[in-house]
Amino acid sequence: MDRVANFLSEKTPRRFLAITAFLGGLYLFRHLALLLLFFVGFERLFGWGTRLLSARTGMKRKHAVFTVVGTFLAITFALAWFGIGKTIRTFTEMQETFPERLADLRENPLVARIQEQFGGTESIIDGVKHYAGDAISAASAIGHFFVYVLIGFILALVFLLEHEELCTFWNKVDPRSLAGTLGRWLGHVSDATIVTVQLQLIVAVFNTVTTLPVLLLLRVPHVGALMLLIFVSALVPVIGNIVSGTVLSLLAYQVKGWLGVGIFVGLTFILHKIESYYLSPRLTARHVKIPGFLLIVSLLACEHVFGFKGLFLSFPILFVAGRIRTEFLEEDAIVSGGPIVLSDNPDQLPTSTTRPQVEPTGIELDSPKLSAPAAEHELAE
């Protein structure tokens, strides 16, 4: 008899081993989190388009995949070409007007204050040289970012093209085995990733649409670029709204003075409170059934433990933990013969106050307390 196999087949040791292997794998491949983000994003986007196109036109799956991906690439290249062309024209205009702009900049009172504070233009140039190494590191990080985008795109394309083969392979895996459990939990991580992206997109759109009327009212220049800044910065929970508000306050000072600064400081404060105490808890509560106060506490705790990355990890951790807990509750219900399929609510655990039925053995007939009801029934007849 294999004692180790029998021990690991028990519920508690099997769960402990699965959780340990799952957390160890996440820690080991933590640097590939950005790659997982792009892979899941592309796979869900192309998969949704493929299913929609196949249902509407009856096209084969692989043909629909190539059609959707080709359309996406065509739109992306068109936007990139338009952006590159506009950048070249802007750079040409800047070369022509650079001397005049430089002269105006030197006469700006703000530049004079900066020179007095930091010791002149030479000190500023020395500081720029000092931070040149950081700029190179940032450029390297941007390069890795685009490499992850490309790899995630390729993985998503291959995954969709071999979807049927992968489904056939996965159906042969025992769901209760370690490989089946880890694969299923990795699917929970993918779901948590795409739900997190959806939540932040909703918050970013809300912040952008709310800020647009204020920009137009104050007549702040470069509204299009500022809208893009607000949208991108709002994708970062909590901190992004503060960063964009600071930039907008500086630009508003040049247009409306301290009045513009006060307006954007107030707007940033309001948007921050709405995001932290209304939007994020409400949107998150649709997927994680815990009070909003605990969601905020979880956000603060993850930021304290993981640093800045914890702002992105709070909801996925709660989401995956809730899914795993639901699996454990459903497994307990099946093992105990529960008549219902449990959801994420522990109140649905089957409880019963009825006494279990015991097969008669004949010994209980000797007890006068147990035989008394039967005798009373006979006398009544």
For 204-218, write each residue's pLDDT tens digit. Answer: 888 888 888 888 887
Lowest mean pLDDT among 40-54, 109-123, 160-174, 313-327: 109-123
Q: Which of 309, 324, 76, 287 is nearest to 184 (CA)?
A: 324
Taking residues 311-330, report their average pLDDT: 85
Is the pLDDT score of 123 beyond 80? no
DSSP 35-53: HHHHHHHHHHHHHHHHHHH
Give CA–CA dist 39/159, Å, rounded: 9
Give CA–CA dist 80/358, Å, rounded: 76
- Out of 19-28, 86-95, 100-109, give the one with best mean pLDDT: 19-28
Is the pLDDT score of 144 beyond 70? yes
**Contact (Cβ atoms closer than 8 angstroms) between residue 99 and residue 80:** no
In a 10 Å sphere around its CB, with 0-12 CB exposed, 13-18 middle and 19+ buried, how is residue 218 labelled?
middle
The dihedral formed by the CA atoms of 142, 143, 144 and 145, expressed in degrees to the nearest 10: 50
| Residue 355 dihedral angles phi and psi, to the nearest 5° | -75, 140
**Residue 194's pLDDT is what?**
87
Taking residues 280-291, report their average pLDDT: 70
Give CA–CA dist 223/262, Å, rounded: 19
Q: Residue 89: pLDDT band by 50, 70, 90 thresholds?
A: low
Is the pLDDT score of 378 beyond 50? no
This prediction's pTM: 0.65
Is the pLDDT score of 151 beyond 90? yes
Is the pLDDT score of 158 beyond 90? yes
**Residue 304's pLDDT is what?**
82
For 190-239, write each residue's pLDDT tens digit. Answer: 988 888 888 888 888 888 888 888 888 877 777 777 788 788 877 776 67
Q: Residue 126: pLDDT band by 50, 70, 90 thresholds?
A: low
Taking residues 338-350, report their average pLDDT: 42
User: Could you say which DSSP state residue 357 is in?
Assistant: P
Is the pLDDT score of 275 beyond 90? no
- Report, in angstroms and rounded to the nearest whole number, the Rg of the chain calculated over CA atoms: 31
**Residue 154's pLDDT is what?**
93
DSSP 66-121: HHHHHHHHHHHHHHHHHHHHHHHHHHHHHHHHHHHHHHHHHT-HHHHHHHHHHTSH
The sign of the torsion formed by the CA atoms of 81, 82, 84, 89 equals positive
